[in-house]
Amino acid sequence: MKDITDAYLYRLRIERKNKLLEKIAFMQAHELRGPLTSVQSLIELIKDEYGDMDLIYTKKLEEGLNRLDTKIKEIIALSSEHKKDI
């Protein structure tokens, strides 16, 4: 008879760590969404207020924020996808 206790305990530790990492990724991504959304809203207000001016800085900010938004959504999607697989 083969003792699989060590392998089983190792697997349990890995599964616990994976669950913890999933929670951290999900929480961090959602924590970043709040401030990001606020800044995006402020940029929209600036554009509305100064719409007749060519505001290159707001365009650059908007591009950077959109890239960050995309990455955060990817993290959330990966976290959610991984939860379905479990």
* pLDDT score of 82: 60
- pLDDT score at 1: 58
40 contacts 65 by C-beta, under 8 angstroms? yes
Rounded to 10 deg, the angle between the 5-49 and 56-85 helix axes is 150
CA atoms within 13 A on the CB side of 77: 6
- State pLDDT tens for residues 39-59: 999 988 888 888 777 778 888
- pTM recorded for the entire structure: 0.63
pLDDT of residue 70: 92
Residue-range domains of the chain with CATH:
5-85 (1.10.287.130)
